[in-house]
Chain A
Amino acid sequence: MLEMLNRLYDVFMSTYEGFLQAVLITLEITAVAVILGTLFGIIFALMKISHSKVLQTIANLYITIIRGTPLIVQIMFLYFGITSIVVLSNFWAGAIALGVHNGAYIAEIFRGAIQGIDRGQREASLALGMNRTQAMRRIIFPQALRRAIPPLGNQFIITLKDSSLVYLIGVSELFGRANREAASNFMQFETFLVVGMYYLVLVLIFTWLLKLYENKLNVDES
């Protein structure tokens, strides 16, 4: 047992410099994926609830395909697809793939949140002379956004963890880094245990920040 703790300590001390750098890359790729995913999510959610059959169909197709195929396939497909057309770093190919993937889930989060807003809010907006766009932008969407924050936070945590998959296309983020370390120090068990703790700490910090933000929103409204 003591020997085991010693080995863990050794692994931790010998990897933390590299791991901390890799944490930055993981956070960067997560941030890009979250921003892209939210953007796609809003656009496709609005398409899905629009009155246009064409837009609805496009949104449905996108959501069905993304939710119906493994993320790893999407990453590979987009990586080889995009990089065969344009010159793109592995980082950006991975971030875009994660963003596109997230967009489908976030679209469903937003659609649910928008449709969950009481019908009376829209009617009151229209009755005051607002057009549909104004009612959505000023009244419905801001309320839907607040309602969407808990599931969005959850989705962001999933993204943070899913970002580990882009190690397969050669991005040296946290998991990729750990993989390399394990291959050279031959202490796979200890190395992956350590990297697991890194992810856990990141998720806990993020959960805590989210909680703070939700509390602030609640205080604002009372």
Chain B
Amino acid sequence: MIKTKNLHKSFGNLEVLKGIDIDINPGEVVVLVGVSGSGKSTLLRCLNFLEKAQEGDIIIDGRAIDRKKDDLSKVRAEVGMVFQHFNLFPHKTVLENIMEAPLIVKKEEKGKAKELGLSLLEKVGLSDKADVYPNKLSGGQKQRVAIARALAMEPKALLFDEPTSALDPELVGEVLQVMQDLADEGMTMVVVTHEMKFAKEVADRIIMLDEGCIIEDADPETFFNHSTNERTQQFLEMVNV
């Protein structure tokens, strides 16, 4: 579904990704972990070309994307993204936020987009918030709207960039619940998170990055209980699992 081959990314002289190979299968939930600065967010952002890797291939649905020639908008429309700081459009209502991309990118008719928007709001449990502006929502509600907005494009996969890191602790659960529901429905997901409980319970696979390299790629049981990698063990001690 999403595959990278020998992906390299540098910011100036700082090499953030040093040859990353990953292979994410349809329906799989992959959690990326690692200390801050390990390159996990950068890797995620490379997958939908918000960052352009200097070297290596990104293969989506069996096709290597040419960063210069391909229409990246089309690629991005198929791989949704949820951000740490939600990035909702403040000048649009909740429903308009969700309808925007179907209307503008897919040129869907208004009635259909609205119907889709309302059904997605119901799915994330926010039907009563359709007509309010984002600044009236709690962080958890904002993130659920952001997930609905990404789903409105009917993406083949969803990327989550620390979706609960900006939330008050009591609001984390409602967002994780929506993500878990998505996982149960078979959505392909790549999640950067520090929520180890989520990783343990929902992930099919955990990939650990350290200094721009993958040092572990295992199922949760192996990762949390049987890892022999020293860095992994240090990390697990740090996050207190």
Contact = CB atoms under 8 A, between A and B. Distances in A.
Contact of A138 (B72, B85, B104): B104
Interface in A109-143: 118, 120-121, 123-124, 126-131, 134, 138-139, 142-143
B192 interface: no
B144 interface: no
Interface string B65-99: 00000001110111011010101111100000000
Contacts of A221: 90-91, 133, 135
B81 A134 contact: no
A124 B84 CA distance: 11
B83 A120 contact: yes
B91 A142 contact: yes
Contacts, number: 68
B153 interface: yes
Contacts of B89: 121, 124, 139, 143
Interface string B182-197: 0000000000000000
A130 B105 contact: yes
A152 B133 CA distance: 25
A130 B146 CA distance: 16
B105 A118 contact: no
Contacts of A142: 91
A126 B76 contact: yes
Contacts of B77: 128-129
A127 B85 contact: no
Contact of A126 (B50, B85, B149): B50
A222 B91 CA distance: 10
A130 B104 contact: yes
Most chain B beta-carbon contacts within 10 A, residue among A127, A138, A139: A127
A146 interface: yes
B101 interface: yes
Interface in B46-64: 48, 50
B136 interface: yes
Given A126-B50, A127-B81, A222 B133 contact: yes
Contact of A128 (B85, B101, B133): B101
Contacts of B210: none
A120 B101 contact: no
B83 A146 contact: no
Given A130-B105, A138-B104, A123 B91 contact: no
A76 B50 CA distance: 49
B150 interface: yes
A123 B87 contact: yes
A146 B85 contact: no
29 contacts: A120-B83, A121-B89, A123-B83, A123-B87, A124-B88, A124-B89, A126-B50, A127-B48, A127-B76, A128-B76, A128-B101, A128-B149, A128-B153, A129-B76, A129-B77, A129-B78, A129-B106, A129-B153, A130-B73, A130-B101, A134-B104, A134-B105, A139-B100, A142-B91, A143-B89, A143-B90, A143-B91, A221-B91, A222-B135
Which 6 pairs of residues, A with B, have the shortest CB-CB distance?
Answer: A129-B77, A124-B87, A120-B87, A128-B101, A127-B81, A129-B105
Interface of B: 48, 50, 72-74, 76-78, 80-81, 83, 85, 87-91, 100-101, 104-106, 133, 135-136, 146, 149-150, 153
Given A127-B83, A131-B73, A221-B91, 13 more contacts: A118-B87, A120-B85, A124-B87, A124-B89, A127-B80, A128-B80, A128-B100, A128-B105, A128-B153, A129-B77, A130-B101, A138-B104, A221-B135
